[in-house]
Amino acid sequence: MFLAGDTFHRYRIEDKIGEGGLGVVYRAYDPILHREIALKIVRPEVARTPLGELSEAALRLMREGRAVASLNHPNAVGIFDVGEINGTPYIAMELAPGKLLSTYVGDEDVPMRLRIGWLAQIACGLDAAHEQGLVHRDVKPENVMVCDNGEVKLFDFGVVKRLATAPQVADDTEPNSEPVATRVGVVMGTPLYMAPEQALGEAVDGRSDQFAWATVAYELLSGGVHPVMGKNPRGVPIALPFFQPGVGPKPLSQVASELPDGVSDIVMKALSKLPGDRFDSMGEIAAALEAIGEAMDAAEQAGETEPAPAMWQPMPIMDAMDAGKPRRRRGRWAWAIAGVLVLSVAVLGYHFGPWGRRHVAQHP
């Protein structure tokens, strides 16, 4: 579409860094602000309908830009500019060099502490979006960038939904248009990461993103195991067979090795079938993971092989039972030593005591 050295609006194209069926992303230079950016442009062939109107893909891109422009958080890609030039919509956004999170799924060389840190950052970014009334609706490893500087950033808010309770942003891409929103009953997102309510076209909120986050977490922490087990009545594959009562994924602790205490409980709660059974916010998840990460860091500094349980939750019953095992083992050793001593005294008494064998032999 564009070559290095070409210009689009005020931006100078440097090279292409990604593309999809609807658009192309370029690394470009902004001569006014003197910085490199990522420039997302809708393909001309899909930008307009046969009647010359902006296509749904073009409208979606501009809605994305306007909705996310107010989101200023280190764990979400920033939006600098959004508009339309000669009938071609575009978004100028933060350039975040790095690798997609999907690159690291299944990579055994990634330390567990680092994975937990990444998931905490994603949770922080989602929490900031939810506070702005934005539901991402397409959280997946391909929409998360692990930057070269260690930051993790959410991007591709192309199917973002602004909740009715949030301040509305007028969509001026069409005359007399309604505020930016999407209709209940329209299923948008990636099926394998959808919450059940989202897959059914029901109302969604931040807890729907939480379910998708948990699916990503399950996959990342287990080394690539995805909790896919069935399809919904519409034939769309989703992460769990939520339409079969009593059926669900294995606990993460059963498929992930070297998992710190508490992590499996967090992920499985966020994977609950009903939104009301999940956490109230992504902020709770972020805080819990950060506490676990701090416990892991403290254990490593202390030279321990395993981190202490995170203090954000009570110790599970089985863990409490296990905690008593060393004391019971010490008790068993004490009884064994006492038995040996008694036996030794008996043997010595038999040989050397006043009624012993040697005493009788010497004094018949």
Instruction: Transcribe 316-339 into DSSP letters.
Output: PHHHHHHHTHHHHHHHHHHHHHHH
For residue 17, count CB atoms less than 10 angstroms from its CB and return exposed for 0-12, middle for 13-18, buried for 19 or more: middle
Q: Which residues are CB-neighbours of 122 under 8 A, at least 6 positions away? A: 75, 139, 144, 152, 154, 213, 216
Question: H or E stretch including 282?
Answer: helix 282-301
* Residues across the chain: 364
Element (H, E) at 360: helix 357-362
Contacts of 291 (CB under 8 A, 6+ apart): 310, 311, 312
Q: What is the dihedral of CA 63, 72, 119, 144, to 10 degrees?
A: 40
Distances (CA, A) of 265 to 72, 219, 268, 274: 30, 15, 5, 16
**In the numeric block, which tokens belong to residue 198?**
């989202």
- CB atoms inside a 10 Å sphere around CB 127: 21
Q: Which of 299, 320, 317 is nearest to 112 (CA)?
A: 299
Which residue in the list 107, 109, 138, 156 is annotated as catalytic? 138
- Is 297 catalytic? The answer is no
Structure tokens at 76: 């979400």
What 8-state DSSP symbol labels residue 279? -
Closest among 332, 291, 341, 339 to 312, alpha carbons compared? 291
- Give the CA-trace dihedral at 52, 55, 60, 63, to 10 degrees: 20
Catalytic residues: 138
